[in-house]
Structure 1
Amino acid sequence: MKTPPSLAHEAWLIDPALRRVFAAIAAAGGEARVAGGAVRNSLLGEPVNDIDIATTLTPDRIMAAGEKARLGVHPTGLDHGTVTLVAAGKPFEVTSLRVDVETFGRKARVAFTDDWEADARRRDFTMNALYCSGDGKIYDPTKGYRDILRKRVKFVGSPAERIEEDALRILRFFRFHARYGEGGPDRTGLAACIRHKSKLKTLSSERIRQELFKLLEAKRASETIKLMALRNVLKVLVPHPRDLKSLSRMAKIDRAHGLKPDALLRLSLIARDALSLRERLRLTNAEMRRLEAIAGYAAPTPKLRERERRAVLYQLGAEAWRDLVRLAWARSKDTVASKSWSALLGFVDQWPVPRFPLGGQDLLSLGFKAGPTIGRELARLEDWWIASDFSATKADLLKKLDMEKPE
């Protein structure tokens, strides 16, 4: 098997802020290594966003080391051995090596250790159990580099034991496969996830939402969601899933046209009633408004003439227009390269939506009494303004208005 390459020249590893944290830990007699995601992503050629550090120091010694080095010190997760150290305005989560003494779903009673292999054995997947020292050397206690080369998401040790420790790892298995995997998933891991899928019901809505939305935005989301549906895992999360072909088409359209994957739109494709998932997935008010617009309006089509497009776009607003067009395109039988659908989607950026030039104050100044009459008159005039293809000016609208003299 190939030896993992050195990461000595990675920009994130030579960042002066990170070097200050490493130096602070070394000065206190500890050893520090970057753990997990940053190492994995560097080996996969993926962007590195967060840098987590593992150390042989216990939490109290981490805090003492940070204070001595004049770093920002924040005890963000002492129960799990985590202290956040801030250098040059950059936060780094520093966690003591640990072993799980007893697990309670997401939570665990831990014991701190200086054994790197013991720390690795409690992690979820082999590709997340790699460590990188300050000189760029990679330590690989669980043979995770082999699985990175194969693009294979594999549990550390027994999949059943890892799932028993935290059932969210079922969903993370599929999410990581959708993001990093190639080919079929690891058979042993897949079998364990299917066997224990009912444990997903024990998880909080927030945790499910976070992982599911990340999965839906992953590059192999459609294939992975289809796999979850075939193995009856998806219905534990989304009752009565449907429209998986449209999800696949949306993913292809997004890739072909450089559109950012949108988890909410993809959810609305696979959920028979996405609005009913508000509590189940802790959907925000803004997300509910988007779903209500999707459910409440007919989608624009390329058959609309330009004048009609302006009228519909004015009624919908830019966000609902984009959402409805993307969904309708995915559900249509037109090609992924369709120029007519692409032009329809882009219309929202070509025509700035105008603002109706009249308001209630204008009618009050003409002698109208405050009350429902003003609202009715404004609605009537707005309809006429739209019918004019938005060409009528404020003066035109005032002429159109049937004046009512105040008493």
Structure 2
Amino acid sequence: MKLPDAPWHQRPSLKKLVDALGGQKGMIRFVGGAVRDSLLGVAVKDIDLATILKPDDVMARLKEAGFKVVPTGIDHGTVTAVTKDGPVEITTLRRDVSTDGRRATVAYSDDWREDAARRDFTINALSADPVTLEIYDYFDGLTDLEARHIRFIGSAEQRIAEDHLRIMRYFRFLARFSEEKVDDAAYAACTQAAASLDSLSRERIADELMKLLATDDPLFAVSKMLDAGIFSHILTETDSRAAALLGQLVRREQAHDIKPLAIRRLVALLPKDTDKAVEIVTGLKFSKKIRRAVADRLAAREPTAVEIPALAYHHGPEAAHDIALLFAANDDLQASLSKLLNWEKPVFPIKGGDLIAMGLEAGPIVAKTLAKVEQAWIEEGFPDDPRIKELAKRIALRT
């Protein structure tokens, strides 16, 4: 079987790179996602190559061919070639010397099958000759790919023992490629080893979780993770009610043709108590930006369409949009989303000096009164002059 024709492997810069690394002599192959996704007819984002050449030789050959080369993972045999069509990663064939579930000590190899055997799933162990496009399949990955079956290479327990993060990767690939069925051996191994996730850095866990939530429909994978006890080691408050909210959210996104957003879906799985939710995402080492985004999206429960513009004003239109998708009643959802079309934040037209001109005494009372006027202005739908000035005057005179 051969790799189907695709624009990505016809790029002149890639052909030049392949030639420089001995492509005509079988010294290099396409590996990983580029092969898998091409066979599935999915757009290829990242191009990875494997080679029998040592990293120093790879760098020397590429520099001689005029490529800029960055030693991005030189300790593990990976360098990145910078081409005009984007970066290309090249990794020397490897075998594991030792692993502890978090990191591996590797040695270089010239055995293609040995290198493929250290990958996680059969569908990720496929490789292709960049010149002939002939596909190499050592573990029946083509059959699994056709069946959308996610299966570990060899012993699932052994693959997970080598790298505990493969538990999370299993469920991510289940969400992305599977037709709602699990591999019994893989699922049993993930369930049994769930506690090993506690040994991993929270950053790695969070990264995999967000990749999973960014898939088109993560609901089946999330429900299987709940059943397997995975979330007790990731998001401790997540339960079947959270999964139900995620399911409603996914259906709403699909019904309204709204692009999936991982942060929106993360909020569905978090406790609805803002302090608890922020505590959890802080523990997962999420950035301040994401922690703020979580807090903003928990600012209201069951908002009405009338309240949506105020939420947009305080938290931004993106947050208000997500609040509507997450928490608006079914009867209010369409109206809420419509309120945000082409929404621009209005400018509050009253200043402290305006209140003083209306008779308010200068001092701390001005700021307090201005806040009251702004809140009333928001509640009344952001009225323009002269209504806002009349509103401000009434409040100033009552103060």
TM-score by length of 1: 0.87
Tell me if structure 2 keeps the 8 A contact 1:151–1:180. Answer: yes
Give 1:112 deviation, angstroms: 0.9
Match of 1:12, SS? helix
Tell me if structure 2 keeps the 8 A contact 1:385–1:392. Answer: no
Gaps of 5+ in 1: none
Match of 2:253 in 1: 254
Match of 2:138 in 1: 141
Tell me if structure 2 keeps the 8 A contact 1:40–1:127. Answer: yes
Deviations along 1:192-248, whole A, 9 cap, x unmatched? 111111111111111101111111222341111111111212222111312222211
Match of 2:22, SS? helix
Give 1:28 deviation, angstroms: 11
Amino acid of the residue matched to residue 367 of structure 2?
G
Tell me if structure 2 keeps the 8 A contact 1:152–1:181. Answer: yes
Partners of 1:104 and 1:130 in 2: how far apart? 25
Match of 1:51 in 2: 47
In 2 relative to 1, CA 32–360 (structure 1 residues): closer, same or farther, beyond 3 Å? farther
Partners of 1:348 and 1:87 in 2: how far apart? 41
Partners of 2:394 and 2:216 in 1: how far apart? 58
Aligned positions of 1:353-392 closer than 5 A: 353-360=345-352, 371-386=363-378, 389-392=381-384
Partners of 1:403 and 1:237 in 2: how far apart? 49
Deviations along 1:76-135, whole A, 9 cap, x unmatched? 111110011112262111000111111133322211111100100011111001111123
Gaps of 5+ in 2: none
RMSD of the alignment, in Å? 2.7
Give 1:287 deviation, angstroms: 1.9
Match of 1:219 in 2: 216
The answer to whether 1:205 aligns with 2:202 is yes
The answer to whether 1:126 aligns with 2:122 is yes
Give 1:377 deviation, angstroms: 3.0
| More off after superposition, 319-328 vs 268-277 | 268-277
Match of 1:93, SS? strand
Aligned positions of 1:226-305 closer than 5 A: 226-242=223-239, 243=241, 244-272=243-271, 273-302=276-305, 304=306
TM-score by length of 2: 0.89
Deviations along 1:54-94, whole A, 9 cap, x unmatched? 01100110011111111101111111100111122621110
Aligned positions of 1:58-137 closer than 5 A: 58-88=54-84, 90-134=86-130, 135-137=132-134
Partners of 2:84 and 2:343 in 1: how far apart? 44
| More off after superposition, 378-387 vs 72-81 | 378-387
Partners of 2:93 and 2:392 in 1: how far apart? 77
Match of 1:92, SS? strand
Match of 2:339, SS? helix
Give 1:402 deviation, angstroms: 8.5
| More off after superposition, 26-35 vs 158-167 | 26-35
In 2 relative to 1, CA 27–139 (structure 1 residues): closer, same or farther, beyond 3 Å? closer
Give 1:43 deviation, angstroms: 0.9
Match of 1:155 in 2: 152
Deviations along 1:144-200, whole A, 9 cap, x unmatched? 111100100111111111111100001101110110111311111111111111111
Match of 2:7, SS? coil
Partners of 1:187 and 1:384 in 2: how far apart? 59
| More off after superposition, 26-35 vs 131-140 | 26-35
Match of 2:294, SS? helix
Amino acid of the residue matched to residue 327 of structure 1?
L
Match of 1:74, SS? strand
Partners of 2:73 and 2:309 in 1: how far apart? 53
Amino acid of the residue matched to residue 275 of structure 1?
V
Give 1:23 deviation, angstroms: 1.1
Give 1:27 deviation, angstroms: 7.9
Deviations along 1:347-372, whole A, 9 cap, x unmatched? 11154331101234666899988752
